[in-house]
Structures are given as C-alpha cells and as structure tokens.
Structure 1
Amino acid sequence: MVERQELETFLTLAEELHFGRTAERLLLSQARVSQTLKKLERKIGAPLFERTSRVVRMSPLGRQLYEDLAPLHQEMDAAVARAKSAARGVEGELHVGFLGSGAGTLTGPILDVFRERCPGVEVRMRETQFRDPLGALRSGEVELLFTCLPVEEPDLTVGPVVINEQRVLAVPLRHPLAGRVSVSLEELAGETFFGVVNGAPAYWWDFHVPRVTPSGREIGRGRAVATFQELMMLVGTGQGISPVVASVEKYYARPDVTFVPLRDVPPAEVAVICRSGGVSERAESFVRAVREAVTSNGGPAPF
C-alpha cells in the first residue's frame, strides 16, 4: 500500500525538481526524500524520475502519475483546509498589499482557491507604491504583500514567486529608440533614468533601474519618482526613459509612451512577502492558496 508521505514526497519533488528544495518544503533531510522516493518507485515498479548529478526530470510514467494525482491531492488538501477553517472559526479580514499589477493574471485564481478554503475571510486588497514598497507590510497595515524581488530584509520572509516577466524600456514616442525591435542596456549610457523618493531600498531600485551599463558606463539619474503613474507621465513628457516590467505596457499604458524589449537584463519576479516570525492562520491559508494556484498554472505567470 502506498503511504501518504510517499505521495506527498513524489508530488513535491515533481513541482520542485530539486531534492534540496523538496526537503526544505517537507521539513525532511535530502536522504529521507531520496529513500522515500526509492520506496515508492519499488512499489510502482519503475522509475518516476530521471536523475543525474545536475538535473532531475520526471519520467513519462512519473508525468502521468503526477497528472493523475495532483488534482486529487489538491481536492483533499482543500477539504482538510475547509474542515480546519470551520473548526477554528477562521474568519474576519485579511489585508493584502500589491505593487503594480500584483499577482497579475493569477490574482483571480488565487482568490478563488482562498475563498473556497476560507469562506469566512474577506480579502481586502491595498495598492502600495515604490516610494515605500515595504512600509505597509512592516507597519501591519497589510499582512501579506505581492511585490517585486529582490527583497533582502532580515525581518521579512519571501514566499512563492507568482510572476516571472521580461523587462522593457519605456520611451517617449519621438525618442530615437522608439520603434526598435530591441535595445541593449549597454546602449543607454548617457541616457537619463529616474531616481526614487526615499523609502525604497537602494539595492531594490538599482536592480530595476540600473545606475550603470554591463560594462560599467554610467546611466544618469533624473528626477525622483514615487509612483508608476508619475514615472509614466515623466517618460511621456520627454523627461527621461526607464526600464519597467513588461506588464506595465498592459496595466499602465499611455498614448505618448512606447515600449522596447531590453535584451541584456535579467527578468523580474514578483513574490508574496510576509513579516518574519509567524503569521495568522488566515495568512498561512492564503500563502497555501498562492502556492496551489501557481502549481496549477504550471509555474509563475509570464506577467
């Protein structure tokens, strides 16, 4: 008979494709994960993963088993969560902050999963701005926050990544770079980007709005901005240009601004963040809903 821990180990490894991360999620040692998987494979009668020193992949049989088991496991977890919620009387309000487009296209699926599990909890969404992207979380105005990485703060914990998107360059319609198929960050030496109003961590803004090109040539910093709307207005009126995430073109479009793909910058990620040291049962349930929605989507959304 197959044991529940064997199934949970298999499903988690299928999602992570990494023994270390699987062990961390399950609070087990890597050796225990490997032993449990081998035990399950002996019961099945064939390998479920193809493993080398550098990569872990599901075998065709493993993929089939995952596709059969994952929906059933999610339904079982949801049923248990609903029972726990009812038993503990989980209700009230959960305040969730978001920067920019938040979880993007995954926002609806996340809320659907959470409402099914915690029907007595009302989610209140609150927009934050990059003038102080972490302030509302630290002050307790929100308990969870969807925001752009990197977040490297000892008092905050980074949860599941929900968005992984490419970055583009926002330029005025009459700018010489407008209409280009793509542009390299190296070409932007001498251009003017924007600073940020005090409140955002310097490393965070420098990741999204670099000070130098890959070869070390300086990129100018113009006016300090506080919001996406302010940034886009300044770009549209010819006061500078700026790297932005690709979803800005969808959610913050202006008729006087166009967007050009950037070739040599890493993609941007959005994750759910919480204060370190423990969160409420409501927030824990919401993070589980986030993880389930991302998994059902096949991974983080493109934006």
Structure 2
Amino acid sequence: METFLTLAEELHFGRTAERLLLSQARVSQTLKKLERRIGAPLFERTSRVVRMSPLGRQLYEDVAPLHAQMEAAVARAKDSARGVEGVLNVGFLGSGAGSLTAPVLATFRERCPGCEVTMRETQFQDPLGALRGGEIDLLFTCLPVEEPDLTVGPVVIREPRLLAMPLGHPLAGRTSVSLEEMAGETFFGVVNSAPAYWWDFHVPPRTPSGRPIRRGQAVASFQELMTLIATGRGISPVIASVERYYSRPDVTFVPLRDVPAAEVALIHRSGTPGPRVGAFIRAVADTVTANGGPAAF
C-alpha cells in the first residue's frame, strides 16, 4: 500500500523507487500484486506516461487519509516511547499561530512533558535569519516562503487582510477599500534582509491596473510599524489578527478587498527533522486537524 500511495504521488516508477529505496522492478512487482488482489488496473501505463485509473484515484482518496493517520499514530507512540526531552526554541512573527498557539503548546507538552518550549519573536528586519542561524528550531510566519533550505509545514491560520491607517485618514470609517485606491498613498519600505517576494505579496509595488504604490521608510518590527502609522507617516496592509494583538487608540483598520487571504504556517529547516522538531510538527498538524483546518480569524 505504501508503494501504491507513493506511486500515486510521483506518477513515476523511478522517483517512487528512489523514495522507497527499492528497485524499479520491485515497485512494478508490488504494484502488479496489488492490482491482482484488487482485480483491476490502478494505473494506466505507457512508455512515457503513468496515470491513475479512475479506480486507482478512488482507492487513493480512500486510503491516503487512513495511511496518514496510521503514520501519525506510530510517530506519536515513538515520541512517547523515547521520551522527547531537551529544549525546543520556537519563533513567531507578529501574532504567530494566533488562537492556535495555546492548543498547540498544550498538545505538545502533553505528548512530550520532558521537553521545554521557549518562544521568541522575530522581526521584519530579518524574518528568517534566526531559523537559518539555528537560534530557533521552528518558526510561525506569514507566507509566502520560497527558500530551498527551508520547508513549509502545516498552515495554521488563514485570514483576510486589513488596511491599517491613522485616525482621521480619508479612508477611515469606510466599510472596505480596494487595492486600486492605494495609488498615491505611502506604504512602508522593504528591509533588505526580508525576501523581496514576501514584501511584494504583502505590499504590492503596483495596483491591479499597474499604477505604482509608493514605499516610504523601512520598518523593522510590528511596534515600529504601528507607531509610524499612528503618526501619519503612512498606511499598511496587515493580517486581520493584528487588529486584536497590536491595536492602539490612534490607529484604525478597514477591510482590504481584492487581495488574497494571508496564511501563517510553521517553517523549519529542510532535511529530516530531529525528534523534538518532528514531534512539534505533528502536534501542530494534529491541532489544525482537530480545529477543522487552519484557524479563520
């Protein structure tokens, strides 16, 4: 069954063999044995293409969730058996995992009572540096993250975006604003160490029609951002949870339409995670699943 699931994901016998550390002949033999047991082909194979048959697709959709649950159960049992201990350093940008932070930590501490979790805030000025440098083991941060040395794990929050502005701003009090209306407004600039694509997602350089959006002073932290907004130095798109966790009386928020929702995910260094990191990733994934999916603000 593991061979079938892997081939269904790869649709390539060579890559499947590499993932499973088997020969291509063994993969082919195993699949033929399963097809004889089922009584019908699960894949349509030619010299160039491998596709799942309708029956194969049905079997994959039925079995994949069960297989994932079984692997997760075995991993949790291993965590308990070896008693994951030590210190795990978890970073977060802004509000981090938001409302799921407490349930995630509770789940992890229940499974790994011998492991201490420390939380550390990261800043705009170097959002990924602490993770790359080994100062933290994992990081809750806003997507997108497209770095070959970092792996994006479970998405924990999916929420709309708002426009933060000072009280008295001409757009304050509106029921919503469009990104097109941002032309001529001053947003905040890019910190050199932050990925350019990350800033382009959160603060696009142009409106949908192509009009430029002006970028002003660079910011290094959420507190600095909110202070500059309050003093009338500019406005900024933010994720909805910022209104809850960073609100202040001299800043107001208006829903921003015509932009994709923001996502916060758990990020870790690429490669096989160690016991502590692996256990925390599983705790996050199980908490998200128990919540019915990523938290919606």
TM-score (norm. length: structure 1): 0.76
- 1:266: which partner in 2? 260
Q: Per-residue deviation at 1:81?
A: 4.8
Q: Residue type of the partner of 1:287?
A: I
Check 1:302–1:162 CA distance in 2 against 1; reply closer, same or farther (3 A cut): same
For the Cα contact (< 8 Å) 1:82–1:118, is it kept in 2?
no
Unpaired segments ≥5 residues, structure 2: 11-18, 21-26, 39-53
The separation in 2 between residues aligned to 1:259 and 1:163, in whole angstroms, is: 19
Aligned 1:34-183 pairs, distance under 5 A = 80-81=74-75, 83-183=77-177
Q: Per-residue deviation at 1:196?
A: 2.8
Q: Per-residue deviation at 1:280?
A: 1.0
Q: Residue type of the partner of 2:293?
A: G
Larger Rg: 2
The separation in 2 between residues aligned to 1:20 and 1:168, in whole angstroms, is: 37
SS at match of 1:158: strand
Aligned 1:239-254 pairs, distance under 5 A = 239-254=233-248
Structure 1 runs (4+) greater than 6 angstroms displaced: none
Match of 2:226 among 232, 236, 242: 232
Q: Per-residue deviation at 1:109?
A: 1.2
- 1:277: which partner in 2? 271
Check if 1:193 corresponds to 2:184. no
- 1:301: which partner in 2? 295
Q: Residue type of the partner of 1:254?
A: R
User: Identity rate of aligned residues, in percent?
Assistant: 70
For the Cα contact (< 8 Å) 2:79–2:279, is it kept in 1?
no
Q: Per-residue deviation at 1:20?
A: 5.2
Check 1:290–1:82 CA distance in 2 against 1; reply closer, same or farther (3 A cut): closer
Kindly report the root-mean-square deviation, in angstroms, between the aligned alpha carbons of the 2 structures: 3.4
Q: Structure 1, residues 143-181: CA drift from partner, whole Å, max 9, x if none? A: 111000000001111111000010010011100000000
TM-score (norm. length: structure 2): 0.77
Check 1:193–1:127 CA distance in 2 against 1; reply closer, same or farther (3 A cut): same
The separation in 2 between residues aligned to 1:157 and 1:113, in whole angstroms, is: 22
For the Cα contact (< 8 Å) 1:95–1:125, is it kept in 2?
yes
Q: Per-residue deviation at 1:289?
A: 0.7
Q: Structure 1, residues 165-209: CA drift from partner, whole Å, max 9, x if none? A: 100100111000000000000011011000032210111011111
Check 1:82–1:244 CA distance in 2 against 1; reply closer, same or farther (3 A cut): closer
Unpaired segments ≥5 residues, structure 1: 10-18, 22-26, 40-51, 57-61
- 1:256: which partner in 2? 250
- 2:48: which partner in 1? none
Check 1:83–1:298 CA distance in 2 against 1; reply closer, same or farther (3 A cut): closer
Moved more, 87-96 or 198-207: 87-96
Q: Structure 1, residues 271-292: CA drift from partner, whole Å, max 9, x if none? A: 0001112221110011011110
For the Cα contact (< 8 Å) 1:196–1:226, is it kept in 2?
no
Q: Residue type of the partner of 1:128?
A: T
Check 1:260–1:20 CA distance in 2 against 1; reply closer, same or farther (3 A cut): farther
Q: Per-residue deviation at 1:86?
A: 4.3
The separation in 2 between residues aligned to 1:179 and 1:86, in whole angstroms, is: 53
The separation in 2 between residues aligned to 1:159 and 1:192, in whole angstroms, is: 34
The separation in 1 between residues aligned to 2:272 and 2:222, in whole angstroms, is: 31
Q: Structure 1, residues 230-287: CA drift from partner, whole Å, max 9, x if none? A: 0111111101011111111000001011001011111110100011122211100110
Q: Residue type of the partner of 1:243?
A: P
The separation in 2 between residues aligned to 1:218 and 1:82, in whole angstroms, is: 51
The separation in 2 between residues aligned to 1:89 and 1:256, in whole angstroms, is: 49
